[in-house]
Amino acid sequence: MRTQVAIIGAGPAGLMLAQLLHSKGIESVILESRTRAEIEETIRAGVLEQGTADLMRELGVADRMNRLGQVHDGIEFRFHRKGHRINLNELTGGKRVTIYAQHEVLKDLISARIATGGEILFNVGDVRLLDVDTESPRVQFRRDKDGELEELVCDFIAGCDGFHGPSRQHIPQHARTEYSEVFPMSWLGILAEAPPSSPELIYAHHDRGFALVSTRSPEIQRIYLQVDAHDDLGNWSDERIWSELHRRLETDDGWTLIEGPIIQKNIVGMRSFVCDPMQYGRLFLAGDAAHIVPPTGAKGLNLAVSDVVVLAKGLEAYYKQGNAAWLQAYSEICLRRVWKAERFSNYMTALLHRHANYSPFQRQIQLAELDYVTSSPVGLASIAENYVGLPIDWRRS
């Protein structure tokens, strides 16, 4: 088999890249180790920056998002029993976020891929990248995990295979630097069958720990609370979860958290990770394969999307004008935006969580910071600008 771009992984990065390339007349084949059902059912985050939602529309894959996604003009920071609204729309000259679950985005992209007749192989096994630093890299794999060993010959490989995928290891250790930070807390996430308690997301800081009220649909709510890093779901009965959420979210103005049957629970670890560079020879990493952010800033999916926008532009310049300069600058352009999202995600994590190791002094600084960003026009504008998504800075050195 031969193609122009071999894409490893059908997450947001791989699927969005395939769609972008298709729109520019560039061929690709997607190789994915999980089944279509697994991908379409895994619960992940759900906040689309303005640029991500715009791209879905430009690519013609936004019908369901336009119908089912919820456009939010603001978010709330809550602390000391009081809410502080951040008006994203006014503070950013008209930008918004769309709340639409990641697995719904994936369903839309998979059906678009199939509708365009593009090759996508699910449930493949033994994926191996070969000759990534030559002009004809190859990928070996087996269909349905145990089929014959097949080979896909290509011009470029896009490593969109997430944090645990094999692609990153093909940048030799001496040629890459990895930056990593693990946070001493986790999030326990629930899906509850209940109507929304709030029209917008609530990020709550409390002495007992952080809580986040998000949503999925008029009937299903997504809610998180900070738990210990090595906590176990077994410690968290439904009663304990609700009672803790009530305490952390309570306000003086009579706001109420609406309960409902909990239909799903999971614990998510919190880490930051960046691999620099994100490219080697003809291999380009995108999304979680190259970087991880803690979920507090809701940036994971959006960063995967901005990476592949940069990659698609580089590939288009290469195929249409024989110009490799944009591909050469891929890492540089991506990492500028990645590091800003890492900064924002770390900032939001530090600002909003309970840190058992903070001294009384650090705790007062944290409270002063919360007070500042929710009362100063400059503080508010900075949160809003980052939350709706920074633009890609296309400068090359």
Q: Could you tell me which residues are beta bridge partners of residue 226?
A: 187
Could you tell me if 34 and 123 are in contact, meaning their C-beta atoms sit under 8 angstroms apart?
Answer: yes
- Among ligand APR, ligand PHB, none, partner that 8 touches (CB below 5 to 8 angstroms by kind): ligand APR
Residue 99 and residue 47 in contact, taking contact as beta carbons nearer than 8 Å:
yes
Map the footprint of ligand APR across residues 321-380, applying CB under 6 A. none
What single DSSP character describes residue 149? E
Q: Tokens 């996508």 correspond to what residue? A: 120
**Closer to ligand PHB by Cβ: residue 100 or 122:** 100
User: Coil, helix or strand for 192?
Assistant: strand
Q: For residue 14, state whether it binds ligand PHB (rule: CB under 6 A).
A: no
198 binds ligand PHB per the rule CB under 6 A: no
- Tell me which residues are annotated as active site: 72, 203, 295, 299, 387
Q: What is the DSSP string of 12-77?
A: HHHHHHHHHHHHTT--EEEE-SS-HHHHHH-----EE-HHHHHHHHHTT--HHHHHH-EEESEEEE
Options 3, 5, 14, 22; binder of ligand APR; rule CB under 6 A: 14
CA distances from 135 to 283, 317, 379 (A): 11, 17, 49
- Which residue's CB is nearer to ligand PHB, number 197 or number 296? 296
Map tokens 């939001």 to a residue. Answer: 348
Cβ–Cβ under 8 Å, residues 194 and 217: no
298 binds ligand PHB (CB under 6 A): yes
Judged by CB under 6 A, the residue of 69, 83, 165, 389 near ligand APR is: 165
- H helix intervals, 193-252: 238-249
Among 9, 11, 46, 137, binds ligand PHB (CB under 6 A): 46
Question: Is the CB of 5 or the CB of 39 nearer to ligand APR?
Answer: 39
Is the separation of the CB atoms in 229 and 269 below 8 Å?
yes
Binding-site member from 296, 331, 366, 374 for ligand PHB (CB under 6 A): 296
Of 10 and 225, CB closest to ligand APR: 10
**Count of C-beta atoms within a 10 Å radius of residue 51:** 18
State which of residues 300, 335, 353, 373 lies at the interface with ligand APR (CB under 6 A). Answer: 300
Query: Which positions from 205 to 224 touch ligand PHB by CB under 6 A, shown as an x/- string?
Result: -------x-x-------x--
Question: Count residues contacting ligand APR (CB under 6 A)?
Answer: 27
| Residue 304 lies near ligand APR (rule: CB under 6 A) | yes
How long, in residues, is the chain? 397
User: Residues in the site for ligand APR, rule: CB under 6 A?
Assistant: 8-14, 31-34, 39, 44-45, 102, 127, 160-162, 165-166, 287-289, 300-301, 304
